Structures are given as C-alpha cells and as structure tokens.
Amino acid sequence: MVVPVVENSSWVVHQASSYNVLQLVSCPSGYRVVSNDGEWDQQRCEPCPSGEECVAATCRNATCTPCEAGKYKDTAGIQECRSCPPGTYNPDSGSMAFANCKRCPTGADTGGVGGQTSASACQCGLSSYLSDAGGTDASITCERCPEGARCASGECALRSAARNCTDGKIIPGTWVRVMSGENAGKYWL
C-alpha cells in the first residue's frame, strides 16, 4: 500500500512503457500539482506561492490562482489569501504583501468592511466628500463640503453619485468635478 506524502492527495496507476507508475492527479486545498509527464519521481504537491491560493476541495491542473483584488497572501503556504482590513482597499490581484492594502485618506473609512477593491469604497465623514484628482493614491483626499452642497441634515450631497440628500432633496445648481489643475477632483458650482 502506498501512503501519499501529502494527506488527501490523489494518485492513479499509470501504464508507462513496460511498467506501472503512480501519477499524481490532485492535491488538497492550498497545494498545487507539480508533475511533468515522464518525470514520475518529481511529482509532488507544493504549497501555493505568495500572492496565490487554491481553495477548491481538490486542486488540479497544477494551478493556484492569484489572490483576488481586495486580498493578499504574504507567504507561500496552504492558507487562503487574506482580506485587506477595514479602512483599506487593494485594486490589484495577485498581491503578495499587506503593504498592497492602501489606507483610505485621513477622515475616511470603509464602514468597517474589509476586502475592498477600490478607493471609492472609502467614505469621508458626513460633512465631507471624497476628492480624487486622478492618478496616484496620494491624490485622494476628503474635502469639506461647499456650503451650497450641504443638506439640511449637515450631510454633503456630493457624497452620492446622484448628488442628492438622503431625504431625497436635490441640491440646487449644477456641480461639476474639476478634472485638472490644482483643484482637480474638487466640485465647483
């Protein structure tokens, strides 16, 4: 009886020329199959590398998949990718470090939800809005709401894509986001 090196790996008898060999078919979750035809002595289950995981019950086809955006995995191993913590976001897949989780700007958070994939998940305080000048993450800030865009509740209507208050009232005027220059990302009436 053959006992697999990695518990729950799957092997089948394969006819190779005039003799039988065991062929690795699948590995348990967290591992990838390493196997080349004809190199029977080199078959093994190998933990997924940094930035990748295999969460299926059995991992076939020699593949681990990149961590999804909003997650990271900083060491090789059988563990799953970790979600970025609340107050951060990560737009990239295959991230290999916690440092790939970018912090929301000062005064913003993700409402206690981790695993966010976009800076738009960062929400500023009720009396502010998220200003994105485009380009780098350093260009994302919380801006104080202009007087004419404040709702009766004190909330900033520019926080929503529709630019209206939570009570349904629409703020007067046409608010436009400046796309370039020193005021890029800010709204003007």
pLDDT in tens, 15-49: 767 778 788 888 888 888 887 766 767 788 889 99
**pLDDT at residue 92 in the model:** 96
Given a cut of 70, is residue 4 above it in pLDDT? no
Given a cut of 60, is residue 52 above it in pLDDT? yes
**pLDDT at residue 54 in the model:** 85
**pLDDT at residue 186 in the model:** 81
pLDDT in tens, 124-153: 888 998 887 665 555 678 889 998 899 989
Contact (Cβ atoms closer than 8 angstroms) between residue 22 and residue 2: yes
> What is the rounded average pLDDT for all residues in the chain?
85
Q: Would the pTM of this model clear 0.75, i.e. be above it?
A: no
Spatial CB neighbours of 12, under 8 Å, sequence gap ≥ 6: 22, 23, 25
- The one-character DSSP state at 42 is G
**pLDDT at residue 103 in the model:** 93
Spatial CB neighbours of 92, under 8 Å, sequence gap ≥ 6: 69, 100
What percent of the chain is predicted at pLDDT more than 90? 32
pLDDT in tens, 64-99: 899 999 999 999 998 999 999 999 999 999 999 999
The secondary structure of 114-176 as a DSSP string is --B-SGGG-EE-TTEEEEE-SSSGGGEEEEEPPGGGB-TTS-BGGGSTT-B-TTSPBPSS--E
